[in-house]
Amino acid sequence: MSYPPATSSSEGAARILSGLLEARTGQILSEARAWRMETALRPLLKIHGLSDIDDLAARLLGKGAPDLERDVVDALLNNESSFFRDLQIFDMIHRQILPAIQAKRQDRLLRIWSAGCSTGQEAYSLAIRLRNDADRWHGWRIEILATDISGTAIKQARSGIFSQMDAQRGLAVGDLIKWFEPMGDNWRASPELRRMVQFRQDNLFDAHAPSGAYDLLLCRNVLLYFTPQRRKTVLALLARHAHDHSVLLLGAGETVIGQGDDFTAHPEFRGGYIRQAALPHGAIGRLSRAG
């Protein structure tokens, strides 16, 4: 790829690195993340024998270094995640959304897509809830697809291995004992849990992993890193993989308002969204007045 011209000092290097991230993932570095850039890249600098991000930028500007570019992008991605993040969302999924989906699916097939899954905690949290409610889902086929652009994150997610600190973040002790096995100082998701989730590395701007329509789509804390135009592109992709009864969930600080016409507020589930085309004629006006 071509890089923007560097000015002097680390400011130019930072622009080169943030430009690489945007070109590869569509993500814009926030001021807070840009400030932590060198900290995030420090392990990579050590591995490659580089003193600072100026050296790193110079290496990238030299001969082609696709592996180094990939590693830089992985290091700059925000892979912050935790089990049952925003617990009220998982309670709504469990108590309201999944029962509503179950009542409408005559083929006894449940399909879920966790887009921007990071290291897998969201997908495993969904799997845990479904397995804890196994009687309700007896005889059902359950497909959970979890995708992320970071190959490093997907590799960890597939392994199902989490540190003690990760395991303690949001995971109830009963679920930890029931669904995870001790592995040295770490914990590993049980084979049964790992079999429930298909983890795939994929880019939301050139997606190949999703197929057909999903009943529940989660794309939480992903859109906030994109420009408005790229948000519209992602929402259009999600709409192509949604049907009339699908529910889309975004992060707490995200919305579809002003991001195109693909989704609108769900009439039943607070914080959820539905394909706008799925609403009956006149429902948009009713929703606006209700709000």
pLDDT at residue 21 in the model: 86
User: Is 32 a residue whose pLDDT tops 70?
Assistant: no
User: Is 119 a residue whose pLDDT tops 60?
Assistant: yes
pLDDT at residue 13 in the model: 86
pLDDT at residue 111 in the model: 98
pLDDT at residue 269 in the model: 96
Average pLDDT value over all residues in the chain: 88
> What architecture is domain 87-290?
3-Layer(aba) Sandwich (3.40)
- How far is Cα 248 from Cα 12, in angstroms, rounded to an integer? 39
pLDDT at residue 210 in the model: 97
Predicted confidence (pLDDT) per residue in 242-273, tens digit:
999 999 999 998 999 888 899 999 999 999 99
Q: Which of 4-8, 26-30, 118-122 is the least confident region?
A: 4-8
User: Is 135 a residue whose pLDDT tops 80?
Assistant: yes
Going by their DSSP bridges, the two strands 161-163 and 186-189 should be labelled as: antiparallel
For residue 113, how many C-alpha atoms fall within 13 Å in the half-sphere facing its CB? Answer: 29
Domain ranges of the chain: 9-76, 87-290
Predicted confidence (pLDDT) per residue in 274-287, tens digit:
998 765 644 443 33
Contact (CB, 8 A) for 276 and 262:
yes
User: Is 64 a residue whose pLDDT tops 70?
Assistant: no
pTM, to two decimals: 0.84
Mean pLDDT, to the nearest integer, of 28-35? Answer: 71
Encoded tokens for 31: 């001021």
Strand positions, DSSP E, 213-284: 214-219, 242-250, 263-265, 272-275
Give the helix, strand, coil percentages of the chain, each rounded to 5.
45, 20, 35
User: Is 198 a residue whose pLDDT tops 70?
Assistant: yes
